[in-house]
Structure 1
Amino acid sequence: MDTSIPSKVLAAQARRSNAARIALFVLPLLLLAPAIWNGYPLLQYDTGGYLARWYEGYLVINRATSYGIYLHLGEQTQFWLNLGFQAIVSLWLIQLTLRVFGITKPFRLAAIGVGLIATTALPWITSMLLTDIFAGLSVLSLFLLIAYRDQTSAVEKVLLFAFTAFAASTHSATMIVLTGVCVAGWLLLPRLRGRVTASGLTLASSALVVGALLVLSCNYALSGKFTWTPGGSGVAFGRMLQDGIVKRYLDDHCPKQQLKLCPYKDELPPTGDDFLWGGNNMFDKLGRFEGMSDEMEFISKQAVTAYPWMQFKAAAKATWDQLVHVATGEGTNGWLPHTYGIIERYLPEQSAAMRAAKQQHWDINFDAVNLVHVPVALGSMVLMLIILGSALWRHRLDDVTLLAGTVTLALLGNALICGIISGPHDRYGSRIVWIATFTAMIAAIKYFIDDHDTADDGTD
């Protein structure tokens, strides 16, 4: 019997392979499609604060100087150098993760890449001048350092180490989430023998130590202060304000304590964002961060012990709300006065290009985008729970389960940190939840396609 493959089948396979290779070449461009269409990198409320770090020489709440230096390196290219780096690193980490899972066919990589671009926030955050792209990518790089140290080359280990350290330095929340993953790894190491090694955890933990040193070094280089980026107490104060805890504290203590906020306790704005960033006269009159940092820190610490049950309920609600706040595009609209002002002040040669971009003309419709992104994100998180529940039921710890567990832990840590400290924001969820969709795609291939192919081959 003739068992040779028909020529038509071979031709079809060749065409499919060629199409996949073309798609891989095009994927970096697709990852930057929003910026290319926009005519300029996408901007956000916080972009200006990062851009200004190189020029202003002082530290600002939650504005990492390492990311400011990174942006400065791409200024002469209108930041397309930064976006190109973000696209290439994204594709590299996606490809490397698929490779260690044995998913090496070009068509599958192309299909997953196109799927992520079409259904998640990945291309939008890749196209944006903001630290958000590094939140999800760093979870993947840390995972590869911890669990797949033996399946990567020496050069890949160095690159993973360097990227993880840099990504951790760009945002305190990212640093904390990655640290939480490492701590969980060390605690679970006795149960994860054979899947996770002490050497892998040591390498990953060392990358975070280097990241912390990078934060301190960059802050010293630009401000002359060997200190951590400010922000914790001020941001936590904002969350407590919108939860009503600050008002409760002022009502209970203003007769006894002489606080700057006492005369304004009945005029507090409804949200922390309105208080800190809304340009209200109250915060300006009180001296903004220079005049209020000590008092905000004092109230935040005192309120934790004064109202523990109120804090617990607010924290639980904030964590849950943050988990389900996953819409793409928060803070990426046509009204960004601070960011526009920073570009016009320090990069006036780019003002015309920035002002001509579609974003500045309100041409981006994130409502339409989120008709797809939100259900995909929420569904992906549910699938993570299903994968983990199935693994517990079957007492099975395979590669997919390990990745799903890592991603779930990162999502929970992100919701806990961002929800409790900053208050729930869609931006904090959308920047990391795409890795759950990526994990679900890997699970679909490993559990359904690969298992089916193995069954058809009659192998075990």
Structure 2
Amino acid sequence: MLPMMVLGGLVLGWPAYWNGYPLVFGDTGNYIGQIKLRFIGWTAPPFYSAFLSATDFGLSLWGPMLAQALLAAAVVVVALDQAGLRRWWGMLGTFLALAACTSLPWLASQMTADFFTGIAVLALALLAFGTLAPWHRWVLLPVALLAILAHQSHVPLALGMVVAAGAIGWAQSGRRAALAILRRAAPVPLLALLLAFAVNAVGLGIPAISPYGNIILAARMLADGTAMDYLDKACPAEHYRVCDHLAELPPGGTILLWDRPALWDAIGGHRAWNAEAGHIVHGTIAHDPLGVLGALATNGVEQFAALRTGESIKPWAKEDGPRPLIARFFPGELDAFDRSRQQHGLLLADVGPFERWHVPIAWAGIAGLLACLLAWRRDPVVAGLCALVLLAAVGNAVLTGGLSEVQNRYAARLAWVLVFTPCLVVAWRLPLRDGLGLAAAR
């Protein structure tokens, strides 16, 4: 299986080869710098930064890119192997299909923690409902832990998946089945929760999964208008710092955090405004709970439908992108970075033809999950796997677009799992001939 993992990893890295350098994102510089400069970013935990530092060997961002592609290939190989799909050409065909028809290679080629969302969901779904050999678990357990820790939205997503998996097992076969699922799936998310709390408590003095999550929530509520309604009534009595700047607040998600530096300085930055943001969040919920729930639902639905692949592969300006960190820590690669297709704006055009079928294929995957769930509703493994992946997609939409900001990258990061899972189920459960290299077990 190891040769297929390596081959699959090489296949999945093709956008980076075409680009001439690993793809970057606006936060790539933050991810590079946290461990190397010894700080914890207020919008991102340090675990993905630790992954980059452990795999770049102080030499190159090609190391983390290849590591990501190999990890993705390893999880795919485990999924195929546990389903009995072990022929080399079947696995190669799967990797080629994923490389051409889904967002996975674009995620694997980019230095962003969003890559790990699909890995976390698929690994946890397999741990909960897969028919796994011991070596499968030895691969999935550490990969799942890393994937859950990589992004602060992954911890609540993983915990929600565990609860959902237990509920599915209970509904299918009773309490004993639910407990068995929890024994398999719960330890990794719980360990991730403890690690996240411990790191934030020691590093920032704030024992929480998302230490500055109040700021993101307050910005979301301001954009939705629910917090503005609350502040119109509360400001005369509460005297919040932001009250003097309500006329300056632009519409649209969390834009005030990134595009209004003067406003951000006036309200004190993230450290000073975090407590006030928490009061605004609680006050807004108490003032208009139905409005908050309605906005959450609307934003979550919009996020679920946002599936474009190419949103985050635009050129990143030299002053606010990762270039200064690349120049500092990988100076020998700066010329390759500057000459890359992404930095010249060419990659957006390159992804266009792929995106035109990525989106309908992703929707076909969602339809396929529903069809598999209906067709094999009495099969606890298939029904559990499909239901859990669908619920994870809903949870991902609520945790990102619903609570932060609707962005295409938040849906695209999970879209490939929505396609891969029903295809895996069909190949696994349909009674095809052994000569095709497919499992015939029901």
- What TM-score, normalized by structure 1, do the two folds share? 0.86
What is residue 5 of structure 1 aligned with on the other side? none
Give the alignment partner of residue 93 of structure 2, picking from 84, 90, 111.
Answer: 111
| The 10-residue stretch of structure 1 (444-453 or 51-60) with the greater mean CA deviation from structure 2 | 444-453
**1:348/1:246 CA distance change after superposition, 3 Å:** farther
CA distance in 2, matches of 1:184, 1:459: 26
| Conserved? CA contact 1:103–1:109, under 8 Å | yes
Query: Amino acid of the residue matched to residue 225 of structure 2?
Result: G
1:57 aligns with 2:38: yes
- TM-superposition CA deviations, 1:120-164 (whole Å, max 9, x none): 110010011111221111222212222236x312x4323322121
CA distance in 1, matches of 2:110, 2:97: 20
What is residue 28 of structure 1 aligned with on the other side? 9
- TM-superposition CA deviations, 1:219-254 (whole Å, max 9, x none): 567668765442321111221122112222222222
Q: What is the SS of the residue equivalent to 2:241?
A: coil
Question: Counterparts of 1:184-223 in structure 2 under 5 Å?
Answer: 184-193=164-173, 198-219=179-200
Question: Counterparts of 1:245-284 in structure 2 under 5 Å?
Answer: 245-284=226-265
**1:249/1:452 CA distance change after superposition, 3 Å:** farther
| Conserved? CA contact 1:236–1:420, under 8 Å | no
| The 10-residue stretch of structure 1 (164-173 or 53-62) with the greater mean CA deviation from structure 2 | 53-62
How many residues are treated as equivalent by the alignment?
A: 432
Query: Amino acid of the residue matched to residue 263 of structure 1?
Result: D
Structure 1 residue 283: Cα displacement: 1.4
**1:331/1:230 CA distance change after superposition, 3 Å:** farther
**1:422/1:459 CA distance change after superposition, 3 Å:** closer
CA distance in 2, matches of 1:341, 1:227: 30
1:157 aligns with 2:137: yes
| Conserved? CA contact 1:388–1:404, under 8 Å | yes
Structure 1 residue 274: Cα displacement: 1.7
Name stretches of at least 5 consecutive residues in structure 1 with no aligned partner.
1-20
- TM-superposition CA deviations, 1:181-238 (whole Å, max 9, x none): 1112223333334995634422321111222233345556766876544232111122
CA distance in 2, matches of 1:399, 1:190: 13
Q: What is the SS of the residue equivalent to 2:394?
A: helix
Q: What is the SS of the residue equivalent to 2:43?
A: coil
Q: What is the SS of the residue equivalent to 1:74?
A: helix
CA distance in 1, matches of 2:74, 2:14: 18
CA distance in 1, matches of 2:435, 2:335: 55
CA distance in 2, matches of 1:311, 1:353: 47
| Conserved? CA contact 1:141–1:160, under 8 Å | yes
What is residue 125 of structure 1 aligned with on the other side? 107
**1:293/1:183 CA distance change after superposition, 3 Å:** same
Query: Amino acid of the residue matched to residue 408 of structure 1?
Result: L
**1:382/1:399 CA distance change after superposition, 3 Å:** same
Give the alignment partner of residue 374 of structure 1, picking from 359, 366, 381.
Answer: 359
**1:226/1:268 CA distance change after superposition, 3 Å:** closer
**1:227/1:262 CA distance change after superposition, 3 Å:** closer
**1:126/1:196 CA distance change after superposition, 3 Å:** farther
What is residue 148 of structure 1 aligned with on the other side? 130
**1:287/1:346 CA distance change after superposition, 3 Å:** farther
What is residue 342 of structure 2 aligned with on the other side? 359
- TM-superposition CA deviations, 1:337-367 (whole Å, max 9, x none): 2322333345444433322222111110233
Question: Counterparts of 1:72-91 in structure 2 under 5 Å?
Answer: 72-75=53-56, 76-91=58-73
1:182 aligns with 2:141: no
User: What is the aligned-residue identity percentage?
Assistant: 26
Cα RMSD over matched residues?
Answer: 2.8
- What TM-score, normalized by structure 2, do the two folds share? 0.89
What is residue 372 of structure 2 aligned with on the other side? 387
What is residue 7 of structure 1 aligned with on the other side? none
What is residue 172 of structure 1 aligned with on the other side? 152
Q: What is the SS of the residue equivalent to 2:432?
A: helix
What is residue 232 of structure 1 aligned with on the other side? 213
| Conserved? CA contact 2:59–2:330, under 8 Å | no
Structure 1 residue 289: Cα displacement: 0.8
